Amino acid sequence: MHIFLSAVGFAIVDAAILSIVSMGFSLQFGMTNVLNLAFGPLMSLGALIAFYLNENGVFIWYAALIGALAVGLTSLFLGQTIFRTFARKGSRLFEMAIVSIAVGLVIDNAMAAITHSTTYQFNFPLGSNHDIGGMTFTTTELIIILIAAVTIASLEYVLHRTRLGVAIRASSANANLALASGIRTERVLKLTWIISGVLCGLGGVVLAISYMSINYTTGDTYLPYVLTAVIVAGIGAIGYAAIAAFILSLVVEVAGAYGAAAYNIMIAIGILLIMLLVRPRGFFSELWERVEVTA
């Protein structure tokens, strides 16, 4: 029982991290129809920025915020330049996925050159241990869970209780109709790139803080989990991505606790393949059957 409870505790922390990134990925993909496989490298970028700031005396959570914002601005730049250029040339889903892979490779190689492929270790106190329901969490892990909870609640509130949320969902469903209805779709698109980028960067930072280490490939190795959570939930089911993240994290952590830790990525990819075969739209998909790219 102790092993199982420990696995559940790890799953909660993992789900907190995964839900942040998955919601950002689902939001951006749902709005632009760009399968942005550069999300992994962007996660690493945010984490490395936070690490360098922390090493130079910036408080870790301030560094995390700056790292997330930096990725948000980078996401906006990429969306408004590279992805928009290819979208205007008529590139579709597959072509844009290839473009995103190329963008990710450029970012990866730039980070590898700058860091000399070094793995860095964070050096700050994790805080006290807290026993909750038979599960043990450090203060840092509880902060990560709190950040995820606030992020999920805030994004859900914005999407379903504000005019911006209505504009995002309307633009996602039918950009031309939204524009004809007076919605400033260009502004909505820019905000989507920023918000999704901030979530990507924030997820990368808290992932690195959880691991207490970071290198330029950290986000790449985490990307299969993100894709699986998004596909299980369904593109556009942004809030449900958090539920899918917890289910996936629980399966992976429980399996790992009982001897299958070496197969974590294989388990995630296996779930992804099964979902694509059985229910490619996911369990909670709300909208977005569009195939045109609107980046």
Q: What residue ranges of the chain have pLDDT lower than 70?
A: 1, 235-237, 280-295
pLDDT 10s digits, 41-74: 999 999 999 999 999 999 999 999 999 999 999 9
Burial 23-42 (b: 16+ CB within 10 A, else e): bbbbbbbbbbbbbbbbbbbb
Q: Give the model's pLDDT for residue 107.
A: 97
Indicate whether 203 belongs to any domain: yes
Q: Give the model's pLDDT for residue 259.
A: 75
Calpha distance 163→46 (Å, rounded)? 29
Indicate whether 288 belongs to any domain: no
Indicate whether 215 belongs to any domain: yes
Indicate whether 286 belongs to any domain: no
Indicate whether 128 belongs to any domain: no
Indicate whether 291 belongs to any domain: no
Q: What is the CATH number of the domain that holds 8?
A: 1.10.3470
| Count of structural domains within the chain | 1
Q: Are 26 and 235 in contact (CB under 8 A)?
A: yes
Q: Are 214 and 208 in contact (CB under 8 A)?
A: yes
Indicate whether 295 belongs to any domain: no
Domain that holds residue 109: 2-122+138-278
pLDDT 10s digits, 89-142: 888 888 999 999 999 999 999 999 999 999 999 888 888 888 888 888 999 999
Indicate whether 85 belongs to any domain: yes
Q: Give the model's pLDDT for residue 10.
A: 86
Q: Give the model's pLDDT for residue 281.
A: 65
Residue 122's CB: how many other CB atoms inside 10 A? Answer: 19
